[in-house]
């Protein structure tokens, strides 16, 4: 920023930066709505979506909601989606969980992910929240398999709430039906 502008407007730092502290985020009705929906999805163990145009504040709103989760109670996992295959998604998930695997087998990855989540919930008494940012770039095949990673004890345990965040075309992708 030009120092003349900073002096004229008496700014102490660059306005509209992405490094805004959570305490400084303006609590708008829209922000609080996303926070309430986030809490609802987390409580239910469901899958929720947050959509908006580039720069609309999706990631900031999610950062705000995540900051309100107590670290002794929650383990948050954050993945930035790619346009890769389901295997790439599982690799990112394994990495987010700090699991070290020597195999690229889908079955082994899914088994290890589910085991780690079960251990965190049952043994360490932690709740899990998975955030998938930029989900609008994910392939349709990845969306088709998301439910498999969420099923614990024949789908009776909603242990993995997922928040998908992305641009508005995310809704279109989720509604797509192949014939």
SS (H, E, C) the chain: CCHHHHHHCCCCCCCCCCCCCHHHCCCCHHHHHHHHHHHHHHHHCCEEEEECCCCCCHHHHHHHHHHCCCCCCEEEEEEECCCCCHHHHHHHHHHHCCCCCCCCCHHHHHHHHHHHHHHHHHCCCCEEEEEEECHHHCCHHHHHHHHHHHCCCCCCCCCCCEEEEECCHHHHHHHCCCC
- Asked whether residue 5 is domain-assigned, the answer is no
- Asked whether residue 58 is domain-assigned, the answer is yes
- Asked whether residue 8 is domain-assigned, the answer is no
**To the nearest whole number, what is the mean pLDDT of the chain?**
87
- Asked whether residue 136 is domain-assigned, the answer is yes
Percent of the chain with pLDDT over 70: 95
- Asked whether residue 87 is domain-assigned, the answer is yes
> How many domains does the chain divide into?
1
- Asked whether residue 166 is domain-assigned, the answer is yes
Task: Please say if the pLDDT value at position 154 is more than 90.
Answer: no
Q: What is the pLDDT of residues 56-85, one digit of tens each?
A: 889 889 999 999 899 899 999 999 988 888
- Asked whether residue 12 is domain-assigned, the answer is no
- Asked whether residue 7 is domain-assigned, the answer is no
Q: What residues make up the domain containing 105? A: 17-175
Tell if the pTM clears 0.75, that is, is over it: yes
Out of 12-16, 49-53, 99-103, 117-121, pick the least confident: 12-16
CATH of the domain at 109: 3.40.50.300
């Amino acid at each position: 920023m030009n120092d003349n502008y900073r002096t004229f407007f008496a700014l102490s730092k660059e306005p509209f930066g992405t490094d805004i502290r959570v305490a400084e985020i303006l609590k708008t009705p829209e922000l609080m709505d996303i926070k309430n929906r986030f809490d609802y999805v987390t409580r239910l163990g469901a899958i929720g979506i947050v959509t908006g145009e580039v720069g609309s504040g999706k990631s900031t709103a999610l950062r705000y909601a995540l900051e309100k989760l107590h670290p002794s109670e929650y383990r948050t996992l954050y993945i930035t989606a790619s346009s890769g295959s389901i295997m790439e998604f599982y690799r990112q998930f394994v990495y987010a969980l700090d699991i070290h695997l020597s195999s690229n087998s889908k079955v082994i990855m899914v088994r290890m992910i589910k085991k780690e989540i079960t251990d965190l919930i049952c043994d360490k008494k932690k709740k899990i929240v998975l955030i998938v940012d930029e989900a609008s770039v994910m392939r349709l095949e990845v969306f088709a398999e998301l439910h498999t990673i969420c099923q614990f004890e024949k789908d009776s345990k909603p242990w993995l709430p997922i928040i998908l965040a992305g641009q508005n075309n995310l809704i279109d992708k989720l509604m797509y039906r192949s014939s």
